[in-house]
């Protein structure tokens, strides 16, 4: 029969082994999750969203109405995430002076370098959309809409010289 000290040592060894295995598996899962979240294109899906049947650059109607959808000068805030990348939130206010109700609005946002080349960019459908518990289904004439767009995954070394936001597509009711 084994002594009580020998039984305690065996129990301690098996507990220690279980803790080590659980710790290693947890570290592997966390590392895999962090890798998956920081991959380029991980948060963009299968490409930028597109409004179907919308007016786009190149059409005469787009150029006519784009000048009547005024975007205020964009502002940005930035934060560093624990995984080491930079997240920027670009904000502007859209003002509808077209005289028509907008049922679809696509906005292009970019962080650009000193040469004006995009460091990171994103296109978002802001009408219709649902955010912060509110559903925005249209933008009526002479109304405004605050537009925040989050751009993530930038390295700390990236040249973040400026920001820009512009209308990418318009659809009317």
Q: What is the pLDDT of residue 66?
A: 95
Beta-bridged to residue 106, according to DSSP, are: 125, 169
pTM as predicted: 0.71
Q: How far apart are the C-alpha atoms of 95 and 123, rounded to whole Å?
A: 18
Sign of CA dihedral 141, 146, 152, 158: positive
Q: Which two tokens stand for residue 137?
A: 């289904």
Considering the domain 60-172 in this protein, what is its CATH number?
2.60.40.10
DSSP structural state of residue 114: T
Give the mean pLDDT of the chain.
87
In this prediction, residue 44 carries a pLDDT of: 47
Considering only 18-22, 46-50, 57-61, 98-102, which range has the smallest mean pLDDT?
Answer: 46-50
């Amino acid at each position: 029969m084994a002594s009580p000290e020998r039984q305690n040592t065996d129990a301690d060894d098996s507990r220690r082994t279980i803790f080590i295995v659980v710790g290693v598996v947890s570290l592997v899962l966390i590392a895999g999750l962090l890798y998956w979240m920081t991959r380029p294109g991980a948060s963009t899906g299968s490409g930028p969203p597109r409004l179907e049947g919308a007016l786009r650059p190149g059409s005469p109607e787009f150029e006519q109405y784009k000048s009547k959808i005024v975007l205020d000068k964009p502002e940005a805030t930035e934060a560093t995430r624990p995984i080491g990348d930079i997240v920027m939130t670009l904000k502007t206010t859209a003002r509808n002076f077209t005289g028509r109700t907008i049922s679809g609005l696509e906005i292009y946002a970019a962080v650009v370098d000193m040469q004006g080349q995009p460091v990171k960019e994103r296109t978002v459908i802001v009408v219709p959309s649902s955010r912060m518990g509110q559903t925005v289904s249209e933008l009526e004439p002479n109304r405004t809409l605050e537009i925040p767009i989050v751009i993530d995954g930038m390295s700390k070394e990236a040249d973040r010289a400026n920001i820009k936001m512009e209308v990418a597509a318009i659809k009317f009711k």
